[in-house]
Amino acid sequence: MGLTRRQALRVGLVTGAGAAVGGAALPPSRGAQAAAIGARTIPQFVTPLWIPPAMPIAGLWPLSYSVAARPIRQQVLPPGYPATPVFAYGSSLDPGTFHAPGYTIESVAFQPTEVTWINQLVDANDHFMPSLFPVDPTLHWANPAGGRGGRDTMPTFTTTPGPYAGPVPMVVHLHGSHVRQESDGYPEAWFLPHAANIPARYATSGSFYDSYRLKYADTYGFSWAPGSARSHYDNDQRATQLWYHDHALGLTRLNVRAGLHGMYIIRGGSTDLNLGQLPGPAPQPGDLPGMRYYEIPLILSDATFSSDGRMYLPSANAFGGGGPYVPDTDIPPIWSPVFFGSTITVNGNTWPYLDVEPRRYRFRLLNSSGVRPFVLKVVADPLAPRPVSPALPIWVIGSDGGLLSAPVSLGSGGLPMQPSERYDIIVDFTGLPVGTHLHLINEGGAATVGTTGSVMRFTVTPLASNDLSVPPDQLSGLLPALPAQPAATRTRRVSFSDVPSTFNPSVTARYLCGTVTPSGKASPRYWNDPVTELPAYGSTEIWEIYNYCPAVHVFHIHLVQFRLLGRRPLAAGASTAPASYETGHKDSVTAPGGQVTRVKATFDRRGRYVWHCHILDHEDNEMMRPWECR
């Protein structure tokens, strides 16, 4: 084996810790993995859609929440199947509120919200829980076992290591929010649970945790307790739907897939409509059971399940060419470039159904999957040959950063959604006979008719009350105008590229963000290279994202909402205007392979943030860069 003493110690510590949780409610998923459940054998449309309630409020003035991450079991598959171990957010004040995805956090525009985020990924004995999935320790990742000197690095190995089975770092990013850096959930500001059995030489927090803890205490007079962090969200942005999710370095794909994500909605102010103009209500804190909701979040993801109910990710690099791996080559042994689940989940259940009344519904859509692109349509027959003609139009009224200035009715093209994109839509079931079945389907590139090509079913039930909301085709004069952006003072060229293995060029070893040379070639950079994107405070810039890969990546930048200017081929060619539904405020956008995607934003806070590809498997293996506004 040739382990160094340091590595032998590490293995010994991890093995000992793993044994300590052997009798826990949720034993770690190591060793032999149970066989996958065939997606076609799982009954569809038998589970009612779970509608996320509003997160219970912990305090007022400022509005505050206390949200923990805990390991639970949840009935994700239909009744009769085993429950699924998940990592769930919930109110630390109420154990009944833990769910994956989490309850919705409600906020008010221009009024601050404070959330205390607590890592309680521990068992009943207060011993840490390992990840639900195989953790690749060879990436540049949080690496708590490296201690304070080796955290947030790519560790070196003398033999190919197995998965890390230690405590799980977490840090929460509110995706799309306009916040100070210490509240943004920087990937190196992670923290371990404050568990009883953390090995003494482990780092218990990431490289940025202590300095951000001090900054937060200086600004708000509150010191984060061990195993937690507090974020202060100013909500000084347009009314919209954000989402909170884990962002720990090199672990995001695992923690988000384990269940650590949920919706965060900002309401009110001059960029929202008046109560009653759009379909509602949405769940609010303190609602009594039995409420009928006409504004409903739909959080779309995918997963593969084993026969024991667990979610499955490969324990060996599915595209690794069979090895050899790190350290004999540059190929990660466990991480895979992409993973597509074999089933679709909505709000934490496979293929649910929703009884709808013949009236208008507002759906707040989020693609929370790791990599899967959706193209959504409402159709009569989910098994019809593709492309299917829509039975009802999808009316898009908002995107990542708030409402559009005019509604957009989508026809046969459907609504494309890459990971992390949100759309605010209206579907009008008015006039449909009771008993009608309609389906939300997926015509995205990787979809299979009958499984991942199906999303959920709508069944029309009798009308319970009159619909007083404004029909979507009459919203044009009511939706808020989109403000003009200042002129850009600089055009910045950044890049997405991949790194073929030097051992086996058909295998992708990493994905990188970087810059572009004057002659138009990729100049790739690693996560820990010096910061190259330094927009001046208050400046407006055009960012041109050069995607040198054949495949799509998803450009996401923290702090700012941008506007999409268009796309053009990397080589010479005509520019394509944004699609009608992409013309509003965005923080995540499709950057197609072989194209330059152009966006424009104003950098109006000082601090250090990140930009990255939002395909989770990519951002976890170097496809992320810091940027800084001074």
**Of 455 and 616, which has the nearer Cβ to Cu ion?**
616
**Of 118 and 615, which has the nearer Cβ to Cu ion?**
615
Long-range pairs for 11-14 at CB < 8 Å and ≥24 separation? Answer: 13/145, 13/166, 13/199, 13/201, 13/202, 14/145, 14/164, 14/165, 14/166
DSSP 156: -
Q: Please, what is the Cα angle at 180 between 178 and 186, to 5 degrees?
A: 95
Structure tokens at 111: 């009024």
| 94, 107, 255, 362 from 433: Cα distances, Å | 41, 37, 43, 20
**Of 247 and 553, which has the nearer Cβ to Cu ion?**
553
The radius of gyration of the chain's CA atoms, rounded to the nearest angstrom, is 23
CA distance 15 to 32: 16
- Strand 422-428 and strand 394-399: the pairing is antiparallel
**3-class DSSP state of 9:** helix
The CB-of-612 to Cu ion minimum distance in angstroms stands at 8
The CB-of-623 to Cu ion minimum distance in angstroms stands at 5
CA distance 93 to 95: 7
Overall size of the chain counted in residues: 630
**Of 132 and 615, which has the nearer Cβ to Cu ion?**
615
**Of 344 and 615, which has the nearer Cβ to Cu ion?**
615
The CB-of-570 to Cu ion minimum distance in angstroms stands at 16
- Whether the ω angle into residue 578 lies within 30 degrees of 0, i.e. cis, is no
Contacts of 390 (CB under 8 A, 6+ apart): 377, 378, 379, 410, 411, 412, 414
**Of 152 and 620, which has the nearer Cβ to Cu ion?**
620
CA distance 349 to 100: 9
Structure tokens at 623: 């496809």
The torsion defined by the Cα of 512, 513, 517 and 521, in degrees rounded to 10, comes to: 50
**Of 154 and 613, which has the nearer Cβ to Cu ion?**
613
Tokens 């960029």 belong to which residue? 271
Under 8 Å between Cβ of 364 and 609: no
- Strand 607-613 and strand 624-629: the pairing is antiparallel
The CB-of-223 to Cu ion minimum distance in angstroms stands at 37
The CB-of-616 to Cu ion minimum distance in angstroms stands at 9
CA distance 619 to 151: 18
Tokens 């409903």 belong to which residue? 296
Q: Please, what is the Cα angle at 77 between 74 and 78, to 5 degrees?
A: 115
**Of 553 and 563, which has the nearer Cβ to Cu ion?**
553
**Of 68 and 615, which has the nearer Cβ to Cu ion?**
615
The CB-of-553 to Cu ion minimum distance in angstroms stands at 3
The torsion defined by the Cα of 507, 510, 511 and 513, in degrees rounded to 10, comes to: -150
**Of 63 and 256, which has the nearer Cβ to Cu ion?**
256
* Nearest in space to 554 (alpha carbons), one of 524, 591, 579: 591
Under 8 Å between Cβ of 349 and 43: no
Cross-strand partners of 69 = 89, 119
Q: Which residue's CB atom is positioned nearest to Cu ion? A: 613
The CB-of-618 to Cu ion minimum distance in angstroms stands at 3
The CB-of-581 to Cu ion minimum distance in angstroms stands at 21
Under 8 Å between Cβ of 206 and 189: yes
**Of 187 and 193, which has the nearer Cβ to Cu ion?**
187
**Of 166 and 444, which has the nearer Cβ to Cu ion?**
444
The CB-of-342 to Cu ion minimum distance in angstroms stands at 21
Structure tokens at 293: 């909701």
191 alpha carbon, distance to own chain's centre = 19
CA distance 241 to 422: 7
CA distance 346 to 299: 5
The CB-of-547 to Cu ion minimum distance in angstroms stands at 9
The CB-of-554 to Cu ion minimum distance in angstroms stands at 6
The CB-of-311 to Cu ion minimum distance in angstroms stands at 22
**Of 74 and 336, which has the nearer Cβ to Cu ion?**
336
**Of 283 and 373, which has the nearer Cβ to Cu ion?**
373
Residues that bind Cu ion (CB under 5 A): 553, 613, 615, 618
The CB-of-617 to Cu ion minimum distance in angstroms stands at 8
**Of 87 and 611, which has the nearer Cβ to Cu ion?**
611
Structure tokens at 506: 């058909």
The CB-of-252 to Cu ion minimum distance in angstroms stands at 12
The CB-of-444 to Cu ion minimum distance in angstroms stands at 15
CA distance 347 to 586: 23
Write the DSSP assignment of 58-90 as a string of letters.
-BTTTEEEEEEEEEEEE--SPTTSPPEEEEEEE
